[in-house]
Structure 1
Amino acid sequence: MPVTDLDLITNAARKAGAIATRFFDADPKVWEKPGQGPVTEADLAVDKMLNDMLLTARPDYGWLSEETADTDARLNTTHQFVVDPIDGTRAFIEGSKDWAISIAVVSNGIPSAAAIYLPMRDNLYAASHKTTAALNGRDIIISPNCKTVLATRPTMDGQHWKNETPPNLKRHFRSSLAYRMCLVAEGRYDAMVTLRPSWEWDIAAGSLIIERAGGIVSDRTGASLAFNSAMPQLNGVIGATPKAHAEIMDRLI
């Protein structure tokens, strides 16, 4: 029986996690990418393994990863792997558990399978366009509330909100965007907001996981997200419960 895309990427995420943990808390080599922040030897090792494993299994798929030089080749494919080898590299370097491996399959511009794995917590979030969202095999669902948001402090500055008044949501933070999206899907928080241009590899997997858990994901204008763009960035991201999404969009400039 052929392996599904979801099975393929969940297995790959766990194997990637095993590689990354060998470098964790072991003083990995670190470089600065101009204008993009740090990258470690763990990021590069995970990226290479995932590229080899996934494209061997699906040689006709395109490839978009934070740690691989992008080319136009993926634009001529129907399906693409969209990968962040380690989302939350700063957290990884600092010894925090809140970093993740994020893998999505995008089909005709829409995520069709997603896996986000937090090795230090052994939490594997997964979803496909045919399944519900799950954490370690258990179905998850968003919260019914509109009380909390995962966002950076500058995101909630008055300049971004009507009458300089952000929504009445208690702010929390996690370094990894992918993990923030999973926490919303799991119902532990009610929304995540980033207003800055956001790379597709940070968002693709988490957007599907939120949607399959019953949430809404859009850019900062309220438009649906489309992936595999020539410039793989999105105009901010809001992932939330329907109630929280409506409140945020009503307040946002």
Structure 2
Amino acid sequence: MPEPDTAHQTDLALLLAAAERAGEIARQYWRQDPVAWEKDAGAGPVSEADLAVNAFLEDNLRGTRPDYGWLSEESEADPSRLDAEFCFIIDPIDGTRAFIDGQQGFSHSLAIAQGERIVAAVVHLPVMGLTYAAQADGPATLNGAPIGPSDAAIAGASVLTYRAATEPQHWVGGIAPPFRREFRPSLAWRLCLASEGRFDAALSLRAAWEWDIAAGALIAERAGAAVSDIHGAAMRFNSPRALVPGLVVAGPRLHAELLAALATGPVSPHHRTE
């Protein structure tokens, strides 16, 4: 049996190859008016491209690692994943609404958990030619080059979050901190952008689905960012509900300042305002 580092490297190579092929499939549908519809219970849109990418990934990844569990936004729940030592955590297309609209900022988010911890991760934006990757005990990279977060303080920081997160009731004293709000359609990409310092933080007060953030969380951690839920606790993955109570991802100084300023718990992941 290979040593753990070797196994993680092999898993990362598997994810990188699968993400590249997923991008090729998605581009066949992008700006081609793909069939799309809304999921039940306000869970957002899905398209034929999401399902095609998901089918490829499940066949390819599970075919290669049949003993790994499977958790994907576009697959039926499989409780057996909770008993597996390793589990794939997949969002075939993160930013589906942007994809349907013909925007470039959608991604494929692929991760592998060992127990509750992510050990290999890839976030790939095929149209933009961006591939973020990390493995346990290794660096985080963008297109092969190491990345790291900024050292910004909260005043004037650029924070990737949705509009409602700046409402006063979420903040101590009823006043949002003096940061500059930005937005990108893919949550996985937002974590990566904070990881590389192009933006100073990624913040969500909403409970987040694991498939949206698993890969980005490891990439941010290995880049040197501080990564937690909105209570400051470490994120745990492959959980029964597949939810994390919000997220704060930033350089260590800004991360601490954001946590200190927060005054609210997470709201439902289905509550979508942007």
Q: TM-score, with normalisation over the residues of structure 1? A: 0.98
Cα root mean square deviation, aligned? 1.1
In the alignment, the residues of structure 2 paired with residue 130 and residue 232 of structure 1 have an alpha-carbon distance, to the nearest angstrom, of: 24
Confirm or deny: 8 A CA contact 1:167 1:247 kept in the other structure.
Answer: no
Pick one of 88, 91, 96 that aligns with 2:95.
88
Runs of 4+ deviating beyond 4 Å: none
Pick one of 181, 186, 189 that aligns with 2:191.
181
Pick one of 89, 97, 103 that aligns with 2:104.
97
The structural deviation recorded for 1:166 is 1.7
Letter in 1 for 2:79: D
Confirm or deny: 8 A CA contact 1:151 1:194 kept in the other structure.
Answer: yes
In the alignment, the residues of structure 2 paired with residue 167 and residue 26 of structure 1 have an alpha-carbon distance, to the nearest angstrom, of: 42
Pick one of 230, 240, 247 that aligns with 2:240.
230
Letter in 2 for 1:28: P
Match of 2:270 in 1: none
Letter in 1 for 2:219: I
Q: Are 1:155 and 2:162 matched, yes or no?
A: no
In the alignment, the residues of structure 2 paired with residue 130 and residue 196 of structure 1 have an alpha-carbon distance, to the nearest angstrom, of: 29
SS of the aligned residue for 2:46 comes to strand
Aligned residues: 253
In the alignment, the residues of structure 2 paired with residue 244 and residue 93 of structure 1 have an alpha-carbon distance, to the nearest angstrom, of: 34
Match of 2:132 in 1: 125
Structure 1 segments unaligned to the other structure (5+ residues) = none
The structural deviation recorded for 1:228 is 0.7
Match of 1:207 in 2: 217
In the alignment, the residues of structure 2 paired with residue 228 and residue 18 of structure 1 have an alpha-carbon distance, to the nearest angstrom, of: 28
The structural deviation recorded for 1:9 is 0.2
SS of the aligned residue for 1:225 comes to coil
Match of 1:139 in 2: 146
Structure 2 segments unaligned to the other structure (5+ residues) = 1-5, 264-274
SS of the aligned residue for 2:133 comes to strand
Letter in 2 for 1:171: R
In the alignment, the residues of structure 1 paired with residue 219 and residue 178 of structure 2 have an alpha-carbon distance, to the nearest angstrom, of: 25
The structural deviation recorded for 1:130 is 2.5
Q: TM-score, with normalisation over the residues of structure 2? A: 0.91
Letter in 1 for 2:72: S
In the alignment, the residues of structure 2 paired with residue 239 and residue 122 of structure 1 have an alpha-carbon distance, to the nearest angstrom, of: 23
Confirm or deny: 8 A CA contact 1:115 1:125 kept in the other structure.
Answer: yes
Q: Are 1:7 and 2:13 matched, yes or no?
A: yes
Match of 1:37 in 2: 44
- Aligned-pair identity (%): 47
Confirm or deny: 8 A CA contact 1:158 1:166 kept in the other structure.
Answer: yes
In the alignment, the residues of structure 1 paired with residue 98 and residue 38 of structure 2 have an alpha-carbon distance, to the nearest angstrom, of: 15
The structural deviation recorded for 1:63 is 0.2
